[in-house]
Structures are given as structure tokens and as C-alpha cells.
Chain A
Amino acid sequence: MDGPPISARRVRALVKKEFHQIARDPSSILIAVIIPLLLLFIFGYGLSLDSHDLRLGVVLESSDTEARDFGAALTGSDYFVVDTGHDIREFSDRLRDGHLRGIVVIPEDFAVRLTDPGKGPAIQIISDGSEPQLAAFVENYVKGAFRVWLRQRQIESGRVMPPALQIEQRFRYNPSLRSRNFLIPGSIAVIMTVVGALLTALVVAREWERGTMEALLASPVTRAELVIGKFIPYFFLGLGSFTVCLLLAILVFRVPLVGSLPALYAVTCLFLLTALGLGLTISAATKDQFVAAQIALNAAFLPAFILSGFVFEIKSMPMWIQVITFFIPARYFVDSLKTLFLAGDVWSILLPDMLLLSLTTIIFLALTARNMARRLD
């Protein structure tokens, strides 16, 4: 029964029926418009890797001018919100309970240790290691502030000239260093994964559950026509929610879009096919909303969130997990979106991603077709 060519008339009729169904079912609109909006707002405002206003306790064991001067330098920094004390015991409990992210101890003989490193460290930085990322920033920023302060002091005292060696730092693609600029393109990929999987997994699984799918299968419609008939409407719905995300990213969150729209939509179309394919595979395999929802949570959302490289870098993962990430389609979409938004149409990155997305699409389509077997079991 799968041999006969696809009839355009039957596909058109199926697509029309599906569009009517979407228009009448508020939950499709909820999934395609409200959920992406809500999630992108949460990602946009709630997720940031830019640490500023780190809460710091500064212990001034000495009250001489040098120590007070460095204490003031920390207080004046934009990176810290500083509480000053004279004993580390004032701060250690607050560090433990998470009210402070770090403590800087300026010892009693600070001035002596500055000139004679043999006497021991001039300052001590203590951080709350239970938040490793913040701890790394506390270390980096305090060290940086200390270096700047030392240099400033040397220049003021006229002991050295401004350095002959200058270091010029530049961040290509994201000069303002806003983590939002790369997190938002990545989160669009996570959102589209959830939307694609939810749309098809839920909606189609419900049809199986209610028996309407069996009714369709009993008609002269072929499997290929059925899959295409499901795909087209949800594909356009998915493109719609991507456009909503895109507008929000550019207009509200001010993420620059360096790449071209055609390239952006080309990658998105491929990814949507994969995401919908995943959803159809889940629903055709389970034929049960309850199980489909569990799988959508466990197999779509969490892997796209953690294994796609959108916030946790794939390169930093152990090798065996890097291998697993090759099977997470969101990974290729995250990679492409980051590049398209921030760097432009870098085809040597985009083409391999698109190729792999096409491959996963084909796999999911084949799986769906197999699971849609015209059996009524």
C-alpha cells in the first residue's frame, strides 16, 4: 500500500483538515505562541553568565593607608558589593550560608608583604566553592583589581613609567561581552525543540488515543501522505513560533543579527523538520499522551538544555559525552544560531550542521513511517 505515488489532492485535503483542527484547538496556539514567548522571556532575563555586583566581605586587619586604599579600590569596583569588617569571623558564617560569594583578607602587615613577598601572600582570597563559576569570577576579578591597584600605585609613586608592553584585548563577535548575546540564540534552539516535540507528540498522540488516527488509516490515504499531511501544518506553525522568538530576540533583547535571514531560515527549516520528526516518532511509537509527555520532558527538553552546548560547552565535556551529543539535533541548531547571530554566514560551520540536521530528519522520518504501520493493534 505504500508504493502508490503521493496524491496531491489527498495531501491537500489532509493539510486543510489539520489546519482547521489547529485553528479550533486552543492548545496548539498555546504551544506555538504563548510557551515560546514565556520561555524566551525567562531565558532572556533569568539566564546570565555576566557576574557583577558579587557580594564580597573585605577584612581589614590593618588600618594603615595602603590597606585602606586597596579596600577602597575594591569598594569602588563595579564588580563587587563590598562589606567591610575587621575580623574574618564576621564573614565566615555568611559565606557558608550563601550570603557572600567571597572574602578578601588584607593582613595586618599588608604594607610589609607588599614590598617583601618573602613574608607571605599580600592578600588572601576566599571564595564559596559550592558555586564554582562564581568562585572563579571572584578569584579572577579580585586578582585583576589587585594587579591594577599595584600598577596604579607604582605609577603614582613615580617608581616606574607606564609599561612599555601594552596588552590589547578584543572580543570578536560580541565586543560588549553580554552573555545574553549568545545565550538567547542558543535558547531559541532549546525552545524550538520543546515546541516541535510538544506540538507533534501531544497532538498526534492524542489522535492515536482517541482513535481518530485509526479512522484515517482505514481510509485510502497512504502512510507517506499521512506523514506529509501532519508535517506541513505543524511546520508552518513552528516557523511562526520561530519568527516570534526572532522578533523578541532582536527587538526586545537587542541581540545583534549579523547573518542573513535566508541562511537563518534555511537552518531553521531543517531543524524544524527534525524536531517535528522527533515528536512524530515519539507519538507514533507510544500512541499514548502520558508516555509521550514523559518522553518529551526527558528526551527533548533536558538533553536540549544540557547537552546542546547552549550554556555548557561541549568541548569541556568528557569524550564519551561528546559522542552522545552528536545524536542531539539541538546541538547543530545551537551552533548554527550562535554563528548566524554573532558572526554571520560562516558556511564552513553552517554547512556541516545543515548536513547533519538533514541526516537526523531522514532518520526520524523513516522511524515515523515504520511506526505508523497500518496495523490496528
Chain B
Amino acid sequence: MLLRLRALVIKEILALVRDPRSRIVLIMPPLIQLFIFSFAATLEVRNNSLAVWNEDAGAASAELVQRIGSMGTFEEVAYVHDESAFNRQVDYQKSLLGIHIPQDFSSSLAAGTPTTIQVVADGRRSNSGQIALGYLSEVLEDFQADMEPGPAAGAPAVAVRHWFNPNLHYFWFVVPSLVAILTTIMTMIVTALSLSRERELGTFEQLMVSPLTPSYILAGKAIPAFFVAMAEASLIVFFAVFVFHIPLQGSVLLLYLTMAAYILSLVGIGLFISALCATQQQAILGVFSFVLPAVLLSGFAGPVDNMPDWLARLTVVNPLLHFKEICKGIFLKDISLHAIWSHTWPMLVLAVLNTSAALAIFRRKFS
């Protein structure tokens, strides 16, 4: 029986790798995506411009504008001279923030009477707006403190340190996450999609009438898919480490063990989808209904911390989230064994549950 299984595995691997078209489809898209998305997916605030509408001719406002100009958060400072131009800057998305200094600014400050600076931000980009506003507030409040009469004591200092990623490169976060996401898509293609295609073409039924039992046939499908997916993932990890120079702090062995657990869970889900679906189209929809929510709820675009509690708890069944956390953890932080295990066992449970469900369905269909 093992001999037959070996023959089946070899046949499957050959089928996947021999066709040049499918070979290219397996290798090129993940690499192209890795390159483009690694640079594209960023929530950093960069290349933005600030609109300044200064109605005041005094020295104080000149000093303030000079300080804002040299803060470095904005690539460009646009000076406008009337309200409509000021509004247009923000309305037409030319500037992320606008700052308005009133006519009586310098004189009021000198006289000690209250005066107000207006800061307007674009709510369509409220996330970047908030971060930029944070930097601007620091400058404004330093200015405020310096303008105040009395002994210039200087404000108490704050030290900031970002562990694991001192310069907050978004890149370092995105690439390990992409290792998980791109692996997911490729694995679903080589399991669910290719199996359902065979069922529609009838080649799968031919296997079913061979002397092999359903569990051997499923193993014959799962083992090659597993190795192809491991190879794909290794390719992406290779690029992450040697081309993108993402620091790999943790153990490579642990990364591979957890990767195996993750791919097993994916293969299980893929087999389950193809067992459940009668046609290729249904299987494709099944894959979409798994992959899209898994990617969206993986914490890649918006952190899980920000989700409502009930949803955050539900994400325990998302294997992609677990593997993404492990990738990020092993790459950047060398997280503890305990933390790794807390993300590994849900993947193993999913792998066992889905594979046995797929097996049960196949047995019933073909007995």
C-alpha cells in the first residue's frame, strides 16, 4: 500500500510541476506580489503637504511658521493667502493639514490676550491626519510654552523607544505578514481548486475506482500539496531574509515547524472545501469565502486590538491570524515558546478537524 501511495505522490508532484504554465502561475504571482505589496502596504505618514494661511505679519507668527517648516513631517509647505485657497487645499486633497494663524496673533500674544490658531485636517484621511496632528501639536505646545512669561524652565523630556523595530519600519511588519498571506493563497489553489478541477474533469473518479482507499487517495493529494506549499513558503522566507533583509531573530526550526502546522491546517481546509463542493465553481466560491475573510480579519490592515471584543474572540478560528502572529513574532521578536504554542495548537486542531471531515465526506460519497 505504501508503494502505491509513493507512486501516487510522485505522479501528483509531476502533474503540478511539469506543466510550464502552472509552474509559472505557482512561482511568479507570489514573488511579484511580495515585491510590490511590501513597499505599498504602509500606514506611515509620508510625502504629505501642509497648508499655512498666515494673516499675521508679526514676528511671533514668523517664528512659528519657521518652526513648523523645519519639523520634517511634511515634505512640502504650501503658503496661501485667503480663505478660499486655504479650504481648497484640504478639499481637493492637496494638503493633509491646514493651519490658520489669525491677524491679531503676534499682537495678542504680546499683550497677553487669548488668541486661537485653527488646525484643519482632512477627515477622509483621519488616520494619517491624527498622526500628523500629533507631531504638529508637539511643535505648537513647545512654542506655547516658550511664549509664556516667567522663567524658561524648559519642558520635562520624554524618551521613546520602539522595541523590535526601532525606526518603526512598516516594511518589517508587512513582509512577515505577507509570508503568511501569500502562502495561504497558493496553498488554497493547489488543494481546493486543483482537486475540484479534477473532480469536474473526471480524473478524480478514476482514482476512486482504483484499489486505493479514500484515505490513501486524500493523502496522495495532501502530501504533494503540502510539499509544494512548504517550498513556496520557503521561497518567500528566503526573499524576506536575503533580499529584504528583515531581521530573523527567532529560531528557523520553530518557524518551519509552525509553518508545517499552518500548511497542514490549510491543506485540511482545502480538502474539506473540495469534498463539500460538487462543481469547480462552488469550490472557487468556497475558496473565496475562506481566503477573503481570513485575510481581512488577520490584523494585516487593521490591528485585531481595534476589533470589537466578540469579533476578536472569533478570530481564534482564523489560522492565518495565528501564523501571521508567529511569523511576525519569530522574525522580529523571538517570542517565547509559550506564545508560539498558544498560536500553534489552534492550527493543529483545525488541521485535524477539517481533514477528518473531508475524509468522512469522501468515504460516504464513494462507498
| Co-complex (A, B) | yes
**Which B residues have a C-beta under 8 Å from some C-beta of A?**
25, 29, 33, 36-37, 39-48, 90-93, 108-109, 112-131, 133-134, 137-138, 140-141, 143-144, 147-148, 150, 153-166, 168-170, 172-173, 185, 189, 193-194, 197, 280-282, 284-285, 287-289, 291-293, 295-297, 301-303, 305-308, 311, 325, 328-329, 332-336, 338-339
Residues of B within 8 A of A113 (CB): 156-157
Find out whether the CB atom of A117 lies under 8 angstroms from the CB atom of B155: yes
Residue from A47, A121, A125, A144 within 8 A of B134 (CB atoms): A144
- Whether a CB of chain B sits under 8 angstroms from the CB of A211 is no
Residues of A within 8 A of B169 (CB): 132
Find out whether the CB atom of A38 lies under 8 angstroms from the CB atom of B288: no
Nearest B-chain residue to A45, judged by Cβ? B311
Known interface pairs A48-B302, A170-B120; 10 further A-B residue pairs with C-beta atoms within 8 A, sorted by A's residue number: A30-B285, A96-B333, A126-B162, A126-B163, A159-B150, A164-B108, A177-B126, A313-B45, A315-B46, A315-B47
Nearest A-chain residue to B148, judged by Cβ? A160
**CB proximity of A146 to chain B, nearest CB, Å:** 6
Q: Which one of A3-11, A266-274, A286-294 contacts B?
A: A286-294
Give Cα distance in the complex from A307 to B42, angstroms. 10
Given A140-B131, A306-B37, A349-B93, are A124 and B161 also a contact pair (CB < 8 Å)? yes
Give Cα distance in the complex from A26 to B21, angstroms. 32
- Whether a CB of chain B sits under 8 angstroms from the CB of A298 is yes
- Whether a CB of chain B sits under 8 angstroms from the CB of A156 is no
Given A129-B162, A130-B164, A182-B124, are A98 and B335 also a contact pair (CB < 8 Å)? yes
Give Cα distance in the complex from A51 to B303, angstroms. 9
Find out whether the CB atom of B126 lies under 8 angstroms from the CB atom of A179: yes
**CB proximity of A134 to chain B, nearest CB, Å:** 6
Nearest B-chain residue to A314, judged by Cβ? B40
Give Cα distance in the complex from A193 to B358, angstroms. 31
**16 A-B pairs with C-beta separation under 8 A:** A27-B285, A39-B292, A46-B297, A124-B160, A134-B305, A140-B134, A143-B138, A169-B119, A171-B126, A179-B127, A198-B288, A301-B292, A311-B301, A312-B42, A312-B301, A317-B40
- In A272-315, the 8 Å CB interface with B consists of 289-291, 293-294, 297-298, 301-302, 305-307, 311-313, 315
- Whether a CB of chain B sits under 8 angstroms from the CB of A127 is yes
Find out whether the CB atom of B123 lies under 8 angstroms from the CB atom of A175: yes
Q: Mark A315-354, 1 if CB is under 8 A from B, else 0.
A: 1111001001100000000000011001100101100000
Given A168-B116, A168-B119, are A139 and B39 also a contact pair (CB < 8 Å)? no
Give Cα distance in the complex from A71 to B333, angstroms. 28
Give Cα distance in the complex from A342 to B156, angstroms. 40
Interface band, chain A: 35 or more
Residue from A96, A167, A175 within 8 A of B140 (CB atoms): A167
Given A97-B338, A130-B332, are A182 and B123 also a contact pair (CB < 8 Å)? yes
Given A194-B292, A206-B281, are A165 and B40 also a contact pair (CB < 8 Å)? no
Find out whether the CB atom of B124 lies under 8 angstroms from the CB atom of A174: yes
Residues of B within 8 A of A219 (CB): none
Nearest A-chain residue to B157, judged by Cβ? A121
Find out whether the CB atom of B41 lies under 8 angstroms from the CB atom of A312: yes
Residues of B within 8 A of A143 (CB): 134, 138, 158, 160
**Which A residues have a C-beta under 8 Å from some C-beta of B?**
27, 30-31, 35, 38-39, 42-43, 45-55, 93, 95-98, 101, 113-115, 117, 120-137, 139-140, 142-144, 146-147, 150, 159-160, 163-175, 177-179, 181-183, 194, 198, 202, 206, 289-291, 293-294, 297-298, 301-302, 305-307, 311-313, 315-318, 321, 324-325, 338-339, 342-343, 346, 348-349
Residues of B within 8 A of A142 (CB): 158
Residue from B90, B160, B303 within 8 A of A139 (CB atoms): B160
Find out whether the CB atom of B281 lies under 8 angstroms from the CB atom of A27: yes
**CB proximity of B276 to chain A, nearest CB, Å:** 14
Find out whether the CB atom of A150 lies under 8 angstroms from the CB atom of B125: no
Give Cα distance in the complex from A129 to B44, angstroms. 13
Find out whether the CB atom of A321 lies under 8 angstroms from the CB atom of B148: no
Find out whether the CB atom of B123 lies under 8 angstroms from the CB atom of A172: yes
Find out whether the CB atom of A121 lies under 8 angstroms from the CB atom of B144: no
Find out whether the CB atom of B36 lies under 8 angstroms from the CB atom of A324: yes
Residues of A within 8 A of B303 (CB): 51, 131, 133-134
Residues of A within 8 A of B143 (CB): 165
**6 A-B pairs with the lowest CB-CB distances in the bound complex, closest first:** A174-B123, A129-B165, A129-B162, A122-B156, A173-B123, A121-B159
Nearest B-chain residue to A313, judged by Cβ? B128
Nearest B-chain residue to A316, judged by Cβ? B46
Find out whether the CB atom of A316 lies under 8 angstroms from the CB atom of B42: yes
Residue from B90, B137, B295, B328 within 8 A of A130 (CB atoms): B328
Find out whether the CB atom of A316 lies under 8 angstroms from the CB atom of B126: no
